[in-house]
Protein backbone atom coordinates (compact mmCIF):
# COMPACT_ATOMS: atom_id res chain seq x y z
CA UNK A 1 0.00 0.00 0.00
CA UNK A 2 1.51 3.32 -1.03
CA UNK A 3 0.38 5.43 1.94
CA UNK A 4 2.49 8.39 0.86
CA UNK A 5 0.63 8.50 -2.45
CA UNK A 6 -2.66 8.84 -0.60
CA UNK A 7 -1.33 11.64 1.57
CA UNK A 8 0.25 13.44 -1.37
CA UNK A 9 -2.92 13.25 -3.45
CA UNK A 10 -4.91 14.39 -0.42
CA UNK A 11 -2.64 17.42 -0.23
CA UNK A 12 -3.09 18.14 -3.93
CA UNK A 13 -6.88 18.04 -3.77
CA UNK A 14 -6.89 20.21 -0.65
CA UNK A 15 -4.64 22.71 -2.42
CA UNK A 16 -7.21 22.96 -5.21
CA UNK A 17 -9.58 24.31 -2.57
CA UNK A 18 -6.97 26.23 -0.60
CA UNK A 19 -4.23 27.38 -2.96
CA UNK A 20 -2.18 28.89 -0.16
CA UNK A 21 -2.72 26.03 2.26
CA UNK A 22 1.03 25.51 2.61
CA UNK A 23 1.62 29.17 3.41
CA UNK A 24 -1.12 29.02 5.99
CA UNK A 25 0.41 25.95 7.65
CA UNK A 26 3.77 27.71 7.81
CA UNK A 27 2.19 30.75 9.34
CA UNK A 28 0.52 28.66 12.04
CA UNK A 29 3.83 27.01 12.88
CA UNK A 30 5.51 30.43 13.03
CA UNK A 31 2.77 31.54 15.38
CA UNK A 32 3.25 28.54 17.65
CA UNK A 33 6.99 29.13 17.77
CA UNK A 34 6.52 32.84 18.44
CA UNK A 35 4.28 32.13 21.43
CA UNK A 36 5.78 29.02 23.01
CA UNK A 37 9.27 28.77 21.53
CA UNK A 38 10.33 25.28 20.43
CA UNK A 39 7.28 23.17 21.21
CA UNK A 40 7.57 19.82 22.96
CA UNK A 41 4.03 18.52 22.56
CA UNK A 42 1.41 19.53 20.03
CA UNK A 43 -2.10 18.48 19.21
CA UNK A 44 -3.27 18.23 15.59
CA UNK A 45 -7.04 18.43 15.95
CA UNK A 46 -9.13 16.81 13.22
CA UNK A 47 -5.87 16.32 11.41
CA UNK A 48 -7.18 13.83 8.85
CA UNK A 49 -4.38 11.92 7.08
CA UNK A 50 -1.69 13.88 8.88
CA UNK A 51 -0.59 16.72 6.60
CA UNK A 52 -0.04 19.05 9.56
CA UNK A 53 1.50 16.38 11.78
CA UNK A 54 4.03 15.46 9.10
CA UNK A 55 5.03 19.08 8.59
CA UNK A 56 5.30 19.68 12.33
CA UNK A 57 7.63 16.70 12.66
CA UNK A 58 9.77 18.10 9.85
CA UNK A 59 9.89 21.58 11.29
CA UNK A 60 10.37 20.65 14.97
CA UNK A 61 12.45 17.44 15.02
CA UNK A 62 11.98 16.81 18.77
CA UNK A 63 8.29 17.55 19.02
CA UNK A 64 5.73 14.92 19.96
CA UNK A 65 2.51 15.27 18.00
CA UNK A 66 -0.83 13.74 18.82
CA UNK A 67 -3.20 13.64 15.87
CA UNK A 68 -6.89 13.11 16.55
CA UNK A 69 -9.61 12.53 14.00
CA UNK A 70 -12.74 10.42 13.67
CA UNK A 71 -12.25 9.20 10.10
CA UNK A 72 -10.80 5.66 10.07
CA UNK A 73 -9.72 5.89 6.43
CA UNK A 74 -7.76 9.11 6.92
CA UNK A 75 -6.27 7.80 10.14
CA UNK A 76 -5.15 4.65 8.32
CA UNK A 77 -3.23 6.88 5.92
CA UNK A 78 -1.70 8.86 8.79
CA UNK A 79 -0.65 5.63 10.49
CA UNK A 80 0.64 4.19 7.25
CA UNK A 81 2.84 7.23 6.65
CA UNK A 82 3.94 8.00 10.22
CA UNK A 83 3.17 4.89 12.27
CA UNK A 84 6.85 4.08 12.72
CA UNK A 85 7.60 7.54 14.13
CA UNK A 86 7.62 7.15 17.91
CA UNK A 87 6.97 10.89 18.30
CA UNK A 88 3.61 10.61 16.54
CA UNK A 89 0.50 9.30 18.25
CA UNK A 90 -2.65 8.77 16.21
CA UNK A 91 -5.90 8.75 18.19
CA UNK A 92 -9.35 8.02 16.88
CA UNK A 93 -11.81 10.33 18.60
CA UNK A 94 -15.06 12.00 17.62
CA UNK A 95 -15.20 15.65 18.60
CA UNK A 96 -18.96 15.23 18.83
CA UNK A 97 -18.50 12.89 21.80
CA UNK A 98 -18.53 14.66 25.15
CA UNK A 99 -15.50 12.68 26.32
CA UNK A 100 -13.46 12.85 23.10
CA UNK A 101 -10.47 14.21 25.03
CA UNK A 102 -10.44 11.42 27.63
CA UNK A 103 -7.38 9.75 26.12
CA UNK A 104 -5.44 13.03 26.00
CA UNK A 105 -3.47 14.74 28.73
CA UNK A 106 -5.04 17.89 30.22
CA UNK A 107 -2.60 20.79 30.12
CA UNK A 108 -0.18 18.56 28.25
CA UNK A 109 0.12 20.47 24.99
CA UNK A 110 2.03 23.60 24.13
CA UNK A 111 -0.39 24.26 21.31
CA UNK A 112 -3.35 22.83 19.49
CA UNK A 113 -3.45 23.36 15.75
CA UNK A 114 -6.41 22.77 13.52
CA UNK A 115 -7.11 23.71 9.94
CA UNK A 116 -10.08 23.53 7.66
CA UNK A 117 -11.96 21.25 10.02
CA UNK A 118 -13.91 22.76 12.89
CA UNK A 119 -16.59 24.21 10.60
CA UNK A 120 -17.81 20.60 10.36
CA UNK A 121 -19.08 20.88 13.96
CA UNK A 122 -22.41 22.36 14.90
CA UNK A 123 -22.60 25.41 17.15
CA UNK A 124 -22.92 23.82 20.58
CA UNK A 125 -20.31 21.23 19.67
CA UNK A 126 -17.77 23.82 18.55
CA UNK A 127 -18.30 25.87 21.71
CA UNK A 128 -17.74 22.76 23.84
CA UNK A 129 -14.66 21.74 21.85
CA UNK A 130 -13.15 25.19 22.42
CA UNK A 131 -13.69 24.61 26.15
CA UNK A 132 -12.02 21.20 25.92
CA UNK A 133 -9.07 22.67 24.02
CA UNK A 134 -8.66 25.37 26.65
CA UNK A 135 -8.11 22.56 29.17
CA UNK A 136 -5.78 20.54 26.94
CA UNK A 137 -3.48 23.45 26.09
CA UNK A 138 -1.13 24.38 28.92
CA UNK A 139 -1.17 27.88 30.45
CA UNK A 140 0.70 30.18 28.10
CA UNK A 141 0.05 27.88 25.18
CA UNK A 142 -1.87 28.71 22.06
CA UNK A 143 -4.72 27.41 19.97
CA UNK A 144 -4.52 28.11 16.29
CA UNK A 145 -7.59 27.48 14.18
CA UNK A 146 -7.52 28.25 10.47
CA UNK A 147 -11.06 28.11 9.22
CA UNK A 148 -13.59 30.37 7.52
CA UNK A 149 -14.55 33.14 9.95
CA UNK A 150 -16.25 35.83 7.90
CA UNK A 151 -15.93 39.48 8.76
CA UNK A 152 -19.17 41.39 9.14
CA UNK A 153 -20.54 44.42 7.31
CA UNK A 154 -18.93 43.79 3.91
CA UNK A 155 -21.47 41.46 2.36
CA UNK A 156 -21.10 42.81 -1.17
CA UNK A 157 -17.34 42.50 -1.11
CA UNK A 158 -17.65 38.97 0.20
CA UNK A 159 -20.15 38.06 -2.51
CA UNK A 160 -17.82 39.43 -5.20
CA UNK A 161 -14.83 37.54 -3.85
CA UNK A 162 -16.82 34.33 -3.55
CA UNK A 163 -18.03 34.60 -7.11
CA UNK A 164 -14.47 35.07 -8.30
CA UNK A 165 -13.40 32.13 -6.16
CA UNK A 166 -16.01 29.90 -7.73
CA UNK A 167 -14.62 30.66 -11.16
CA UNK A 168 -11.06 30.23 -10.05
CA UNK A 169 -11.43 26.90 -8.28
CA UNK A 170 -14.19 25.32 -10.32
CA UNK A 171 -12.40 22.17 -11.45
CA UNK A 172 -9.25 20.12 -11.03
CA UNK A 173 -6.56 20.30 -13.70
CA UNK A 174 -6.48 17.41 -16.15
CA UNK A 175 -5.41 14.18 -14.46
CA UNK A 176 -5.61 15.44 -10.88
CA UNK A 177 -8.00 14.16 -8.26
CA UNK A 178 -10.33 16.68 -6.68
CA UNK A 179 -12.20 16.19 -3.38
CA UNK A 180 -14.93 14.05 -4.96
CA UNK A 181 -12.73 11.90 -7.17
CA UNK A 182 -10.22 11.41 -4.35
CA UNK A 183 -12.95 9.95 -2.15
CA UNK A 184 -14.21 7.80 -5.02
CA UNK A 185 -10.71 6.44 -5.52
CA UNK A 186 -10.36 5.76 -1.79
CA UNK A 187 -13.77 4.08 -1.70
CA UNK A 188 -12.70 1.76 -4.52
CA UNK A 189 -9.38 0.87 -2.93
CA UNK A 190 -9.24 -2.69 -1.56
CA UNK A 191 -7.60 -1.57 1.69
CA UNK A 192 -9.30 1.78 2.29
CA UNK A 193 -12.73 0.94 0.86
CA UNK A 194 -14.35 -0.52 3.97
CA UNK A 195 -12.93 2.29 6.10
CA UNK A 196 -14.36 4.89 3.72
CA UNK A 197 -17.74 3.16 3.96
CA UNK A 198 -17.49 3.39 7.75
CA UNK A 199 -16.55 7.04 7.47
CA UNK A 200 -19.44 7.75 5.12
CA UNK A 201 -21.83 6.20 7.62
CA UNK A 202 -20.49 8.59 10.29
CA UNK A 203 -20.79 11.67 8.08
CA UNK A 204 -23.82 10.63 6.06
CA UNK A 205 -21.93 10.50 2.77
CA UNK A 206 -18.74 11.75 1.26
CA UNK A 207 -19.83 15.34 1.72
CA UNK A 208 -19.59 16.42 5.31
CA UNK A 209 -22.44 17.87 7.41
CA UNK A 210 -23.67 21.43 6.83
CA UNK A 211 -21.06 24.02 7.63
CA UNK A 212 -21.19 26.17 10.72
CA UNK A 213 -19.21 29.28 9.83
CA UNK A 214 -20.17 32.06 12.23
CA UNK A 215 -18.42 35.42 12.03
CA UNK A 216 -15.07 36.00 13.65
CA UNK A 217 -16.79 37.75 16.56
CA UNK A 218 -18.55 34.51 17.50
CA UNK A 219 -15.22 32.71 17.76
CA UNK A 220 -13.63 35.48 19.79
CA UNK A 221 -16.46 35.45 22.31
CA UNK A 222 -16.59 31.65 22.51
CA UNK A 223 -12.82 31.41 23.01
CA UNK A 224 -12.69 34.04 25.73
CA UNK A 225 -15.62 32.34 27.46
CA UNK A 226 -13.77 29.02 27.17
CA UNK A 227 -10.86 30.47 29.17
CA UNK A 228 -8.43 31.79 26.61
CA UNK A 229 -6.84 35.08 27.54
CA UNK A 230 -6.83 36.62 24.09
CA UNK A 231 -8.66 35.73 20.92
CA UNK A 232 -8.55 37.32 17.52
CA UNK A 233 -7.68 37.08 13.89
CA UNK A 234 -3.95 37.16 13.25
CA UNK A 235 -4.00 36.31 9.57
CA UNK A 236 -6.54 36.65 6.88
CA UNK A 237 -6.68 36.11 3.17
CA UNK A 238 -9.81 37.28 1.43
CA UNK A 239 -13.10 37.73 3.13
CA UNK A 240 -15.32 34.86 2.10
CA UNK A 241 -18.19 33.98 4.35
CA UNK A 242 -18.91 30.47 3.28
CA UNK A 243 -16.75 27.41 3.17
CA UNK A 244 -18.15 25.69 0.17
CA UNK A 245 -15.36 23.88 -1.62
CA UNK A 246 -15.29 26.49 -4.34
CA UNK A 247 -14.74 29.39 -2.00
CA UNK A 248 -12.48 28.06 0.69
CA UNK A 249 -9.49 29.28 -1.24
CA UNK A 250 -10.53 32.78 -0.40
CA UNK A 251 -11.61 32.26 3.16
CA UNK A 252 -8.24 31.79 4.73
CA UNK A 253 -8.23 32.84 8.30
CA UNK A 254 -6.08 32.02 11.24
CA UNK A 255 -7.03 32.60 14.80
CA UNK A 256 -4.68 32.83 17.68
CA UNK A 257 -5.17 33.14 21.37
CA UNK A 258 -3.15 32.72 24.48
CA UNK A 259 -4.57 30.79 27.31
CA UNK A 260 -5.08 32.50 30.66
CA UNK A 261 -2.04 32.67 32.86
CA UNK A 262 1.17 34.52 32.26
CA UNK A 263 3.23 33.92 29.17
CA UNK A 264 6.68 32.52 29.77
CA UNK A 265 9.41 35.13 29.45
CA UNK A 266 11.47 35.16 26.28
CA UNK A 267 14.73 34.44 28.02
CA UNK A 268 13.71 31.87 30.60
CA UNK A 269 10.55 29.93 30.14
CA UNK A 270 10.42 29.60 26.39
CA UNK A 271 11.41 26.26 24.98
C1 LIG B 1 -11.12 18.93 5.27
S2 LIG B 1 -10.45 17.78 6.42
C3 LIG B 1 -8.99 18.65 6.98
C4 LIG B 1 -7.97 17.70 7.55
C5 LIG B 1 -6.62 18.34 7.87
N6 LIG B 1 -6.74 19.30 8.94
C7 LIG B 1 -6.01 18.98 6.65
O8 LIG B 1 -5.94 20.22 6.60
O9 LIG B 1 -5.61 18.26 5.74
C10 LIG B 1 -11.55 17.89 7.82
C11 LIG B 1 -11.23 16.87 8.88
O12 LIG B 1 -12.05 17.06 10.03
C13 LIG B 1 -12.36 15.79 10.55
N14 LIG B 1 -13.54 15.87 11.40
C15 LIG B 1 -14.74 16.40 11.07
N16 LIG B 1 -15.61 16.24 12.07
C17 LIG B 1 -14.94 15.59 13.07
C18 LIG B 1 -15.30 15.14 14.35
N19 LIG B 1 -16.55 15.27 14.80
N20 LIG B 1 -14.37 14.52 15.10
C21 LIG B 1 -13.10 14.36 14.63
N22 LIG B 1 -12.70 14.76 13.42
C23 LIG B 1 -13.61 15.37 12.63
C24 LIG B 1 -12.59 14.97 9.30
O25 LIG B 1 -12.57 13.58 9.55
C26 LIG B 1 -11.45 15.44 8.43
O27 LIG B 1 -10.30 14.69 8.64
215-234 residue pLDDT tens: 888 998 999 899 888 888 88
Q: Ligand 1, residues 71, 125, 213: which to mutate, most atoms within 8 A of Cβ?
A: 71
% of the chain exceeding 70 in pLDDT: 83
Residue nearest to atom 27 of ligand 1 (CA): 48
The pLDDT tens digits for 5-64 are 999 999 999 998 888 889 889 989 998 999 899 999 999 999 999 999 999 999 999 999
Site residues for ligand 1, CB cut-off 6 Å: 14, 46-48, 51-52, 69-71, 74, 94-96, 115-117, 120
Rounded-to-integer distance, Cα 164 and Cα 87, Å = 42
Q: Are 24 and 252 in contact (CB under 8 A)?
A: yes
Cβ-count burial 98-134 (b if 16+ within 10 Å, e if not): eebbeebeeebbbbbbbbbbbbbbeeebbbbbbbbbb
Residue 48 alpha carbon to ligand 1 centre in Å = 5
pLDDT at residue 268 tops 60? no
Tens-place pLDDT, residues 111-150: 999 999 999 999 999 999 999 999 999 988 999 998 888 7
Using most ligand atoms within 8 A of CB, pick from 46, 81, 203 the residue to mutate for ligand 1.
46
pLDDT above 90 covers a percentage of the chain that reads 56
Between 145 and 158, name the one with better pLDDT.
Answer: 145
Domains of the chain (ranges, CATH numbers): 3-258 (3.40.50.150)
Q: Ligand 1 centre and the CA of 236: distance in Å? A: 21
Amino acid sequence: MNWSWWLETWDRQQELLLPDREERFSFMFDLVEAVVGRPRALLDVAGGPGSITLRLRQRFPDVRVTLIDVDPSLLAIATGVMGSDSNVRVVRADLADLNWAAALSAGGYDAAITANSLHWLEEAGLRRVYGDLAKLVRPGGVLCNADPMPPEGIDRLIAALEEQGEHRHASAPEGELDWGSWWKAAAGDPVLGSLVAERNRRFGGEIHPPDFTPPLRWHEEALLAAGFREAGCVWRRGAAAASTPETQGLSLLALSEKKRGSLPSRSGGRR
